[in-house]
A and B are shown apart, each in its own frame.
Chain A
């Protein structure tokens, strides 16, 4: 019997740490990163769970498209008991049900598939409004779906908006044709009345500290957090007569695009021009290890960076950022941060849109070829279509370091505990 030289066990759980030429493997310094040894220098489509290396969860193709345009926005709802997905590409909006398949429910839009040096790629912002669906892409008149097909939304005070986000009983629009730093909202419970009067609750604010366009908005509790490329703000409900106010929260974090920020409970994770960060709104920390950061920024197609998509994979306790690896113009790689184990891995299932889809029992994602996928398949999909079903709530916790502070905030360390909600 030969002598045991070494058991590689602890090292297996260190995640992927790409070996970048000119940079030695560095010990981690961030409390949001793993302190485990770095063993694997490359890898694809694995997760580090249950003290083992495993293939990432499965997927199933559910829509094979006629056209090949990238899916650039995705929403899952329960429409009167029927799980329904709405998604769009640069020219068309679709409705998908298991029984009915995919149907075009809006077409003729003027979005662009690829970004240029001056114009970002067109991405849809889709959100529910009761039983209706609202959609906006920044280049066409915002759309509303009331059960049959999308049509121009009426009563607007602007002609285009990059972002819609529902903050019941209001719909908030950001980055509108009235200004890239505008926040506007409709009348209370009336998405078809956006013009402020003395007798309604519609209104608007110019975010004078924005310093650039508002690029993304994500719910943070009952408030709306919104981001430029280097700042974070909050829009808070204050009631009549002003209805909303905003506050700058943090400087030094931002987003590269509309879909590049995702909420995990009370924590937002984002992909910004300077790296991947996490924040609770009072402090932030850049969480990517130096190797992962170099891996991204040495390989990303910067011209298409506005296509970055952040997805909260609840089942695998991860946030995944999909991005276009140069020279691809489409999202082709993902870096995966497991917030439970605080380690990184790499996924090469490029996704151009992704959303939590509890009514489908799993998550949904779209890709650059227009394919729609069910993600998180964990059983035999031929016999159990809901085998990837996830708990709606999932307790999560984090330990944070002494991160950088915000506007007048005093940073401090400690544990964050969040209730995993339906955000993101």
Chain B
């Protein structure tokens, strides 16, 4: 039988004030993943010296923990070898200095608290000869 007994519950009007707070932070983050792309040259190895970004909104270390993981592969059936770099708007490029046929990226904000915008990613380096 339904009844209408009024009972106060705990409320959280002042508990949580983070802007882009995501619950279960240990399990959840903001990220995008692109895997095993060939930069338009599937038959050539590439030396990638530098990766640059159009990244707005992250001005201070500590606002967010934005990182770029870059993975490299010589063959699609090989494991991806990853390396992580931390980013900010003031430091909008990283030096990879690696040669591979395929590249992967994971762009991640582990503690999303500010709004950023990722508008482009540029890969700088050299095309090398093909390698079987």
- Which residues of A approach B to under 8 Å, CB–CB? 1-9, 11-12, 16, 19, 39-46, 50-66, 94, 96, 98, 101-109, 140-141, 143, 148-152, 348-349, 367, 371, 377-382
Contacts and interface: CB of A to CB of B under 8 A. Distances in A.
Contact of B119 (A12, A19, A64, A140): A12
A98 B4 CA distance: 20
Contacts, number: 186
Interface in B1-44: 1-13, 15-23, 28-35, 37, 39-40
A349 B31 contact: no
Contacts of A51: 119
Contact of B5 (A4, A64, A98, A104): A104
Contact of B31 (A6, A11, A43, A62): A43
A96 B6 CA distance: 12
Interface residues of B, number: 55
A44 to B, nearest CB: 6
A140 B2 CA distance: 8
A146 to B, nearest CB: 10
Contact of B19 (A2, A46, A150, A381): A381
Contacts of B13: 62, 98, 101
Interface stretch (B67-75, B81-89, B108-116): B108-116
Contacts of B126: 2-3, 5
A412 to B, nearest CB: 37
Contact of B22 (A45, A140, A371): A45
B121 interface: yes
B48 interface: yes
B130 to A, nearest CB: 15
Given A39-B34, A62-B12, 5 more contacts: A5-B48, A43-B32, A54-B118, A102-B11, A348-B28
B1 A64 contact: no
A46 B123 CA distance: 22
A162 to B, nearest CB: 17
Contacts of A150: 2, 4
Contact of B116 (A40, A54, A59, A105): A54
Interface of B: 1-13, 15-23, 28-35, 37, 39-40, 46, 48-50, 54, 56, 107, 109, 112, 115-127
Contact of B34 (A2, A41, A59): A41
Contacts of A42: 31-33, 35
A94 B119 contact: no
A187 to B, nearest CB: 24
6 contacts: A5-B125, A5-B126, A53-B32, A59-B22, A62-B11, A103-B8
B9 A149 contact: no
